[in-house]
Structure 1
Amino acid sequence: MLHYCLAHIAYHFSRQLPKRNRAKFQILLVLLVTIFLSPQLFVLVRPRSSRYCDQPLLHNLTTFIIFTFLMTGFTFLLTLMDPMPCELKAAFHTFGVGSFLQGVLTTAFTIAAPQCVNTTPELYYLSLVLSVLSMLATVFIVPLIPFWLLNNFYPGMLLNPGSRAGICHRPVADCSCLWYV
């Protein structure tokens, strides 16, 4: 859920900026993605990472890197497109489910691989950090799911910007809703 959460946060930060300043935000995103991707690629190319480990941590890291590239694409699309097509929303939320499953697998593989700290320490510790970050992102996103569902099935009940009504209108009068994508 880490990738989905990061793209979701970037989307909401970009919506707080005027359209003419979003190019600067895109440059900042490139720097942040580079910082996020660098340790993953560093551990992937280390010769010690290819040593034997009972759990498929190296394959999981490769999948995590693929999800990072997908997150980068979604982040740029979400921050650039102002009226967002329904297809992009559906693809992004499907990506969120895949990101959740990736976080669960990363956590499960890391918990089951304490012996890998002796053979592949960098890979194990990176998997441990990514597992903790995935769990924290899940804790952040899961409470928003009921709001997304209510907003989908009963539009305007939570927030109706046109009529300035809804349960959540007062708390979010000056900022966008976290559950809205």
Structure 2
Amino acid sequence: MLHYCLAHLAYHFSRQVPKRSRAKFEILVLFLVTVLLFPQIFVLLRPKSSRYCNQPLLINLTSFIILTFVMTGFTVLLTLMDPIPNEVKVAFHVYGVGSFAQGITTTAFTVAAPQCVNTTPELYYLSFVLSVLSVLATVFIGFLIPFWLADIFCTGMVLTQQARDGVCQKPVANYSFLWHV
């Protein structure tokens, strides 16, 4: 869920930036993706990471890196397109389900691999950090899901931007980036 959450936040933060300044925001996003990718690729290329560990942490890290590249593509699409086609939204939410599954897998492998700290310490600690970040992102998105569903089934109940009305109007009046794609 970490990848989905990061792309989601980048989308909403980009909507706070004027359209003509979004190129600068894209450069910032690419810098942040590089910062996120660097430790993953660094640990992947370490000789110690290929040592034996009874859990497939290395394979999991590889799939995490692939999802990070896909996240980069979605982030670029979501921040540059205005309006966003429904097909892209659906693909993004399907990607969110895959990101959720990746977070659960990472957390499960990390919890089951405490002995890997002796054989592959960098890989284990990176997996631990990614697990914690995935859990935090899942809690954040899990907190927002009831509001999104309420807005779908009872349109205007949660937030109506045009009328400046709804249950959530006060909290998100100045922070509309907290809302949904």
2:146 counterpart of 1:172: no
In 1, the alpha carbon distance for the partners of 2:47 and 2:161 equals 55
SS in structure 2 opposite 1:170?
A: helix
Alignment of 1:42-121 (within 5 A): 42-121=42-121
Please report how far the alpha carbon of residue 88 of structure 1 lies from its aligned counterpart in structure 2 after TM superposition.
1.0
Q: Which amino acid aligns with 1:132?
A: V
Aligned length: 181
Unaligned runs of 5+ in 1: none
Please report how far the alpha carbon of residue 164 of structure 1 lies from its aligned counterpart in structure 2 after TM superposition.
3.2
In 2, the alpha carbon distance for the partners of 1:102 and 1:142 equals 16
CA contact (8 A) 2:12 2:179 kept: no
CA contact (8 A) 1:147 1:179 kept: no
TM-score, normalising length: structure 2: 0.95
CA contact (8 A) 1:49 1:123 kept: yes
2:15 counterpart of 1:18: no
In 1, the alpha carbon distance for the partners of 2:28 and 2:49 equals 30
Please report how far the alpha carbon of residue 177 of structure 1 lies from its aligned counterpart in structure 2 after TM superposition.
5.4
CA RMSD of aligned residues (A): 1.3
Deviating beyond 4 angstroms after TM superposition, the runs of 4 or more aligned structure 1 residues are none
Distance 1:177 1:28, change over 3 A: closer
| Equivalent in the alignment of 2:140 | 140
Question: 1:66-108 CA deviation, whole Å, 9 max, x = no partner?
Answer: 1100110111111101111111111111111111111111011
CA contact (8 A) 2:151 2:158 kept: yes
Unaligned runs of 5+ in 2: none
Q: Which amino acid aligns with 1:148?
A: W
Please report how far the alpha carbon of residue 45 of structure 1 lies from its aligned counterpart in structure 2 after TM superposition.
1.1
In 2, the alpha carbon distance for the partners of 1:56 and 1:48 equals 14
Distance 1:175 1:114, change over 3 A: closer
In 2, the alpha carbon distance for the partners of 1:163 and 1:68 equals 38
2:6 counterpart of 1:6: yes
Question: 1:47-70 CA deviation, whole Å, 9 max, x = no partner?
Answer: 211111100000000010011001
In 1, the alpha carbon distance for the partners of 2:177 and 2:26 equals 22
Q: Which amino acid aligns with 1:115?
A: Q
Question: 1:120-152 CA deviation, whole Å, 9 max, x = no partner?
Answer: 111111101111111111121111000111112
Distance 1:177 1:48, change over 3 A: closer
SS in structure 2 opposite 1:54?
A: coil
